[in-house]
Structure 1
Amino acid sequence: MAIELARFTIHDGAEERLVAERPAMVDALRRRFPGCLAAYLTREDDGSWLDVLVWRSRAEAERAAREVGSVPECAAWFRHIAESGGVRHVDVVAAWTADGADA
């Protein structure tokens, strides 16, 4: 498994639309890239955002990062982003989940 970390800020007044459009964007992302296992949109204390996506593999995460702009719902959602702080991928070395499944 791999985790994608995408930090960004949004345009003033865009928060409501960013959150409201999120389900359709994630649904389209998962249809195009089925290796996406989970997605968490978080807001940091400084007001910036961190999108955390869990992927079946790093290769799938990196492919999606290269091609995500070709998914119309994703491209439309990105219009809310004022500034990107970059995207990083990290490999999951060990994991624990509440349902008891270890990675």
Structure 2
Amino acid sequence: MTDAGGDMELYDLCVVVDRIEGRSVCGMRAGDRFTVTGSNELRIPGGGHFCMYALAAALPLLAAKQRALPPGDWLERDSEVACPDPDERLVMRIERTGTSRMNSADLT
């Protein structure tokens, strides 16, 4: 669906486990990741896994991080999100890795 001549541009994202400050009960480690490309394609590399609770914590931020935001917007400056498990204290970093151009008429 990526089109160099599209009328809109979204950032591609990589969500990386930056650190685990408690005990890892979900089997994840620093460096585990997933990517988001286009408007909605989520990929976990190499057949790995990603904790659904950590994923649920990051999901609400992804649509905003895919878009260019005003410089003063807190979400433009901040890139960390924490898993809700208080015993684990898993912290993820959302990185912008590139851009995808799309036709808005192709999306819902």
Classify the TM-score, shorter chain. Answer: 0.3 to 0.5
Q: Which of structures 1 and 2 has the bigger CA Rg?
A: 2
